[in-house]
């Protein structure tokens, strides 16, 4: 565990009967970092989080959450770790203010109504949990998770089922929490969400970490190619052909689309060709392989 790391998982193993669900997983999460856990269903990410949350007993390895052992110091853990579960709920008849009072009273704290206000939940409203929208419920669970002023928060699929606006709002909240120094562990299926929110990501496949790094490191490490989309004034490159490193794949309207591995060289070749014909570039887009493509590539690799 480095000085910076707030969460440390070393050689974590979890078995259910003869099946090893988490197989020797190790990672560290630094202070103020948003660390994403990605993986297909049944990969072991929720089990890993459950071990960190202290609700699941590990069969091997060591874990530390802000200096506390989740398996042994349950009471201390609840004072340093906030958890928002995807599959959790509250009783239908509870009101947001009551939920906050309830959780805070068990932590020996005064109710944090300020958190409800901050997340746009009117705690004086008589609305019951069952009458709240999915977005409001998610924000309420987030506020409850933050009520004990934790150093680390675990978010399991925080935006699943939310509409675009609610999703964007929640992303803003998560970024805002990061700026206050909160360390976040985010489990998600949403690649775009992971790519835009996470500082680092671990992709878990079959209970093992397939790759770990920043989104840029992960996407650049694969075999997927960069896509170059180009439109010129007199369409000098159409109908398209391979130009140097750039492999032409298709034409869409006035746009030609090429794939390449060496992006800089391919762009230079294309621009040189445009210049050669006395044409000029009207639109040029370079898209590196997405996290989703890299993710699918890793899964395909694991299947093979």
Partner 1 sequence: MNAFFKHLLIQFKMDIRERGTLMTYYLVPLVFYLVIGGVFSSTNPLAKQTLSATMVIFAVTMGAVLGIPSPIVKMRESGVLRAYRVCGIPGWAVLFIQAVSAFLHLLVVSIIIFFTAHLVFGSSYPQSLIGYSLALFILLFSSIALGLFIGVTARSQSIAMMLSQAIFLPTMMLSGIMFPVAMLPKAFRVAGHLLPATYIMQSFSGLAFMLRCDIDATLSLLIAAGIGVVVAILTVARFRDMEKSV
Binding residues for partner 1 (CB under 8 A): 53, 55, 74-75, 78, 83, 85, 87-94, 98, 101-103, 105-108, 128, 141, 144-145, 148
DSSP string, 70-84: TTT-HHHHHHHEEEE
Specify whether the CB–CB gap between 187 and 37 falls below 8 A: yes
**What tokens appear for 269 in the block?**
């070749």
DSSP state, residue 130 = G
Write down the least CB distance from residue 80 to partner 1, Å. Answer: 11
- Cβ contacts of 3 within 8 Å, gap of 6 or more: none
What is the number of alpha carbons within 13 Å of residue 12 lying toward its C-beta? Answer: 30
Q: In whole angstroms, how close is the CB of 52 to partner 1 at the nearest point?
A: 11
Q: Given the complex with partner 1, which of 34 and 90 has the nearer CB atom? A: 90
Nearer to partner 1, 149 or 242 (CB): 149
- Shortest Cβ distance from residue 55 to partner 1 (Å)? 6
Q: How far is the CB of 92 from partner 1 (least distance, A)?
A: 7
Nearer to partner 1, 110 or 264 (CB): 110
SS3 194: helix
- Rounded to whole angstroms, the Cα distance separating 88 from 65 reads 21
If we measure between CA atoms, which residue out of 245, 246, 241, 250 comes closest to residue 277?
Answer: 241
Task: Indicate the residue among 70 and 240 with the shorter CB distance to partner 1.
Answer: 70
Distance in Å, CB of 73 to partner 1, minimum: 12
Minimum distance from residue 50 beta carbon to partner 1 (Å): 9
Tell me the C-alpha to C-alpha distance, in Å, between residue 208 and each of 12, 20, 61, 126.
10, 10, 14, 46
Looking at the Cβ atoms of 77 and 174, the one nearer to partner 1 is 77
DSSP state of 157: S
Distance in angstroms (rounded) separating the CA atoms of residues 66 and 152: 7
Pairing verdict, β 226-232 and 281-287:
antiparallel
- The smaller minimum CB distance to partner 1, of residues 106 and 277, is found at 106
């Amino acid at each position: 565990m480095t000085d910076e790391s707030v969460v440390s998982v070393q050689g974590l193993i979890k078995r259910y009967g003869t099946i090893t669900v988490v197989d020797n997983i190790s990672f560290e999460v630094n202070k103020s970092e948003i660390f994403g856990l990605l993986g297909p269903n049944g990969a072991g990410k929720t089990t890993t989080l459950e071990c960190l949350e202290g609700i699941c007993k590990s069969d091997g390895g060591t874990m530390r959450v802000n200096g506390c052992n989740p398996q042994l110091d349950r009471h201390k853990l609840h004072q340093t770790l906030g958890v928002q579960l995807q599959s959790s709920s509250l009783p239908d008849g509870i009101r947001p203010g009551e939920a906050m009072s309830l959780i805070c009273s068990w932590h020996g704290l005064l109710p944090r109504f300020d958190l409800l206000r901050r997340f746009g939940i009117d705690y004086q409203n008589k609305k019951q949990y069952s009458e709240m929208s999915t977005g409001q419920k998610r924000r309420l669970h987030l506020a409850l998770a933050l009520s004990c002023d934790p150093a680390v928060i675990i978010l399991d699929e925080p935006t699943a089922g939310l509409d675009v606006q609610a999703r964007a709002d929640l992303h803003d909240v998560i970024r805002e929490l990061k700026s206050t120094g909160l360390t976040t562990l985010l489990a998600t299926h949403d690649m775009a969400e992971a790519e835009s929110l996470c500082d680092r990501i671990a992709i878990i496949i079959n209970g093992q970490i397939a790759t770990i790094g920043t989104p840029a490191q992960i996407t650049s490490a694969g075999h997927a190619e960069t896509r170059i989309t180009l439109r010129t004034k007199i369409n000098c490159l159409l109908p398209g052909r391979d130009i140097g490193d750039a492999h032409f794949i298709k034409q869409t309207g006035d746009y030609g689309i090429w794939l390449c591995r060496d992006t800089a060289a391919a762009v230079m070749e294309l621009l040189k060709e445009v210049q050669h014909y006395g044409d000029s570039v009207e639109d040029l887009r370079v898209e590196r392989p997405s996290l989703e493509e890299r993710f699918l590539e890793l899964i395909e690799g694991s299947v093979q």
